[in-house]
Amino acid sequence: MLAGLCLVVPGKTRDRVAAALRTTIVAPAAALQARTELSRRSFMAEAVTRRMNDSVSLRSQRLTGVEDENIRLRQLLGLSSTVQWGFVPAEILQGRLLGDEFTVTLSAGARAGVELLSPIIVSDGLVGVVQRADPSLSVAILWPHPDFRVSAMSADGATYGIVTSHVGPSADRYLLELRSVPLRTQLRPGTLIVSSGAGGVFPRNIPVGTVINELKTSDAWARTYLLRPAVKFSDLGAVMVLTRARSTKGVDGIWNIESLADSARRSVVAAGDSLTARLRDSVVAALRQRAADSIAAVVALGGRAEAVLAKPALGKPRSTP
């Protein structure tokens, strides 16, 4: 009614009435609208900030992956400059489509120089072997594949054996086994195992893995050792395929075997020291807990004994002789 009245009154009166309405009746509604607008802006700003944070996190994750890939590519470039000739660069395309995650497709084929049984390497060591070479693509098996075999030896050349995939649950299937080691020979944890060159497929002195421990088997005439592979399965991407001429010529001097052996021994010793420290701490904690439980049991037993002694005897007291 007041608003309708303001439409017919003179201008000065209308302004005074409107000012009075704004300061009285309309004021709470205006304040509520102002707070609502501030809340809306705060909500929108929070949503924008959340999207920005998610975008930054996603970019940082992608950047980490790109940095890791760049490191692997730089290592591969360094390996290619060392090898110099007799190799074909390739990319691992897909393995799931072949029904086996350890069978992969390479982006290079026979036209590029890839042949059957060509070794596949990276800067860390041996990856696998070509199983089939098509004109533009090729199929290869990686070291965890059940059909993978390589004649190997210790870095000092004193012990020989055959490296195969390790059949085990979950993460153990990504390990290797060194089989047919003479019974008279014992390998310490941290011993570097390299290809021996026997068989004519893999050149000599390609890093294959590091000894973890000895496996107990039913074979009474030979030893079997569990190996940690030289190449991590998660780091596979760009690889190098050696040609037959390069495999025949050999790869001596490409990997510093002595330095790799020392590094492997130090890493195993450090891991063993860390495990020993954790075991020692757990044993100490268990002994302390056992002692505390024993003390608590003794205290509780003493309390029950005092309660029994302090309890009055039932019935008539006996006469003292």
Question: Tens of pLDDT along the chain (321 residues)?
Answer: 777 777 777 777 777 777 777 777 777 877 787 788 778 777 777 777 777 777 776 666 655 555 566 666 666 676 777 888 899 999 988 654 455 778 999 999 999 999 999 999 998 899 999 999 999 999 999 999 999 999 999 999 999 999 999 987 777 788 999 999 999 889 999 999 999 999 889 999 999 999 999 998 888 889 999 999 999 887 788 899 999 999 999 888 888 888 777 776 666 656 555 555 665 666 667 777 777 777 777 667 666 655 655 555 445 555 554
Q: Could you tell me if residue 89 is inside a domain?
A: yes
Neighbours of 250 (CB within 10 A): 13
Strands of the chain, DSSP E: 87-94, 103-106, 119-122, 125-133, 138-142, 149-154, 160-165, 176-182, 192-195, 207-215, 222-229, 238-242
Pairing of strands 103-106, 87-94: antiparallel
**180 and 234 together in one domain:** yes
**Domain total in the chain:** 2
Asked whether 117 and 129 are in contact (CB, 8 A), the reply is: yes
Domain that holds residue 148: 85-272
Of 61, 83, 105, the one marking the end of a domain is 83
pTM metric for this prediction = 0.62
What would the two tokens of residue 74 be? 């730089």
Of 33, 62, 83, the one marking the end of a domain is 83
**119 and 64 together in one domain:** no
Neighbours of 139 (CB within 10 A): 16
What would the two tokens of residue 270 be? 């450090």
Q: Could you tell me if residue 213 is inside a domain?
A: yes
CA distance 104 to 130: 9
CA distance 23 to 65: 61
